[in-house]
Amino acid sequence: ATIIDRLRDNGVAEQERFPLEARVDIFVAVLNALSYAHDQGLLHCDVKPANVIIGEHGEVWLADWGIARSKTTLQKKAATADSDSARQNQAETLRESTGSKEPTKSAIFGTPKYMSPEQASGNLAEIDEKSDLYSAFILFFEFLTLDEWISSQLNLQDTLEAARTRSVPQIADAVFDQQAKSVPTELRYFLQTGLAHDRSERFTSCEHALCELTRIRAGRFDVRCPITFVKRIQNLLADAIDRWPQRVIFALLLSVIVWALGLAGGILYALG
């Protein structure tokens, strides 16, 4: 959180220490930590910049497991809540006749502005690995854009409402171009998947997200628009030059000669 604040203030030291690649490395370390916890059946439930510690030599710790929950425990609570809800429905008519309302037990826990929609809704049945992953992607969004996912100026109720309804910006949104170096298009698509409001459209696990990020960093991302098409061709060409430099250079020279001869022929034909 301190690093992001200093980057927002254009801190020279932070800009040099945390270029795009370094920020991606930190996000990878966070996903690895979450992946290990999820394999143990544990959900962090409060992933946010303030809970990620960066060491002097680049070490990354995912800290503050104070409200971490066992996935099994949450599922049991969700099942209990469903049975309690059925009993409450039976008593609803009596409460309406007296005009009284019993306080509802809240299942919302965590930091509101970094919650997934299901966590902000208190939906225990849907709080799982995808919820942690969504919060991690909010962290990544803020680290890349230096923009707040949800404004800190909102009150608690409005923050929870924003967490339930917030949608990821479009690919061409200006938020991705605010910094000196724009967020690469392939990472914008990556963020859109990680921050999808519909749970079924998100990455299924940390391993899934890490695998896709590995493909992106290797230049093997999916072609999803003209920009990613051009960048994919550039990456393929660069890889081909590394593998077969003489063949590729010969093919390129041949292509240029053919193009030049075609252009010259066209000009002569037009003049004749």
Which distant-in-sequence residues (6+ apart) come within 8 Å of 138 by Cβ?
47, 48, 113, 114, 149, 195
Q: Are 49 and 63 in contact (CB under 8 A)?
A: no
Which distant-in-sequence residues (6+ apart) come within 8 Å of 229 by Cβ?
223
Q: Choose, from 46, 147, 158, 198, the residue flagged as catalytic.
A: 46
* DSSP-derived pairing of the beta strands 69-70 and 42-43: antiparallel
DSSP 8-state class, residue 121? T
User: Which candidate, 96, 94, 115, places its Cα nearest to that of 106?
Assistant: 115
Q: Are 237 and 248 in contact (CB under 8 A)?
A: yes
Q: Are 217 and 186 in contact (CB under 8 A)?
A: no
> Is 82 among the catalytic positions?
no
Q: Match 């309302």 to its residue by tokens.
A: 101
Q: How far is CA 232 from the centre of its chain?
A: 21
Beta bridge partners of 149: none
CB count within 10 Å of CB 140 equals 25
Residues noted as catalytic: 46
